[in-house]
Every structure is written in C-alpha cells, then in structure tokens.
Structure 1
Amino acid sequence: MSSERATPGQWLPGDVTPVDLERLLWGLVALSLIADIVTTFVGLNLGLAESNPAARGAIESHGVVGMLGLKAFAVGVALACRPLLERAYRPIVPAGLAVPWLAAAVVNMYTISTVLSSSH
C-alpha cells in the first residue's frame, strides 16, 4: 500500500475541504484559547500555580495582559508560517495551536474540579 499519490483532501470525510477544515480549526483555536485563559486564571485564584514557565513569567509580570500577549504572539507566528505550507496542509497550523490549548484547558478543569471537590 502506498500513499504517494494521496492528497489531504482524500482523507477528509464527505464534502469537507481543507479550507473548510482550516476554518473550523481556527474557530477551535479561539475557543481553546479562551478556555485555557479562563481556566488558568480560575485555577490561579484558587491557589494553583501555572506550570508553563513562559506563561508563568508573563502572568507574574503582566497578569492577564501578559497571557493575552503570549497567546497573540503564538497566533502571530502561526499566521506568519501558514503561507509557507501548501493550501492542503494549512489546517495543521491551527491544529498545532488548538490541540495543546484544549489539552491545557482540560487539565486545568480537572485540576480545578479536584481542588473544589476536596474543599467540600
């Protein structure tokens, strides 16, 4: 079996194009970014600590503005690198932002829930 002639569009279900997928993933970037920021600051207000050293430094020196700046920088780098890829492969750019931010938000929610359940 060979995938030499396969294109990313062949991997997508139905009528979903790489452009549609990329649009959907940029929406997921926005949601995961908000979820990560909100859950981070809820956790910090409960006495938890930020484990990411870059985020911790940004938050300690500039608060929520520092966190927003850090996220804006990441999105800016992603947008600057996006044109370097063929159109069919561009959905990897927002996926590369959304997946770790979504994972961080899930870990944050789990950690917050354990703190809240142990306080009752």
Structure 2
Amino acid sequence: MVAEGAVFTTDRTVSIGTIDGWCNALFDEIAAVERELWLVVVATLVVDVWLTHIGLQHGLHEGNPVMRAAIETFGIAALGLTKVGVLGLAGLTRRQLSEQRGVVVPLGIALPWAGAVVINAALLLSL
C-alpha cells in the first residue's frame, strides 16, 4: 500500500514533499547568486560578439544561417543588437516570474552563451 501524497517508483516510494522541498532549496541557492548570473550573461554576450568578430576576420563563418545573413548584410553589429534584444526580452520575462523561479532566465541564457564562447575560443585557438 502506498501512502497518500507519495509517488511510487520501481525501487522505493518517495514523498512528493521531499522532491518539492529539494527543488525549492535548489532554486533558493541559485537565486542567491542571480545578480552574478546576470553579470555572466552580459560578459558572455560581449565576449561572444568579440570572438565571433575575430573569427570572421580569420576566415571562419557564422554557424547560424540567419545570423550569417544578417552579419553579411549589416555587419557584426547585427549580432550584438540581436543579443541585446534577447537580453531585453529576458529582462521582461524575468520580471514576470517569482523571485525564486526567475533565476532560470539568466541561467538559461548564460549556459548556451558560455558554450558559444568556449566553442569560439577553441576554434580560434585551432587556427
């Protein structure tokens, strides 16, 4: 027999409150560094645009076909303006979320942009 308010798994029964409590504690810890995450977002934005610009000067090509066309038409500023637009939209989205859950916004931007910075740096180092 499974207790009320519990989830049955193949190997054991886990209280829903336990999972919810763990998630809340994790979000609380991440929310404590939200300001730093926004700084990482801004830093990765700047570094990604800069490394992309250097890569283009050394004969590399933008991987995103839409951004490639925009850069070819309007220059590297198109990439910077697009990223600033994403940053603005992220800020508006963040305002709609609770203090605890809103941290997913900078985290969701910082991770892929940091990945792009690492890839760009690796490509430039391989030249």
8 Å contact from structure 1 (residues 43, 112) kept in 2: yes
Once the 2 structures are TM-superposed, how far is the Cα of residue 7 of structure 1 from its aligned partner? Answer: 5.0
8 Å contact from structure 2 (residues 34, 103) kept in 1: yes
Pick from 22, 28, 32 the counterpart of residue 40 of structure 2. Answer: 28
Q: TM-score, normalised by structure 1?
A: 0.82
Asked which structure has the greater CA Rg, the reply is 2
Percent of aligned positions that are identical: 31
Greater relative contact order (Cα < 8 A, sep 6+): 1
**Runs of 4+ with >6 A deviation:** none
| Aligned residue number for residue 106 of structure 1 | 118
Matched, 1:58 2:70: yes
Q: Which runs of 5+ in 2 are unaligned?
A: 1-13
Which structure dedicates a bigger proportion of its chain to strand?
2
Which structure dedicates a bigger proportion of its chain to helix?
1
Pick from 21, 38, 59 the counterpart of residue 5 of structure 1. Answer: 21
- Please give the root-mean-square deviation of Cα atoms over the aligned residues, in Å: 1.9
| Aligned residue number for residue 7 of structure 2 | none
Separation of aligned partners in 1, 2:105 and 2:79: 20
Which residue type is aligned with residue 105 of structure 1?
Answer: V
Q: TM-score, normalised by structure 2?
A: 0.78
How many matched pairs? 111
Separation of aligned partners in 2, 1:12 and 1:79: 18
How do 1:73-84 and structure 2 match up within 5 A?
73-84=85-96
8 Å contact from structure 2 (residues 30, 103) kept in 1: no
Which residue type is aligned with residue 120 of structure 2?
Answer: N
Which residue type is aligned with residue 11 of structure 1?
Answer: L
Q: Which runs of 5+ in 1 are unaligned?
A: 116-120
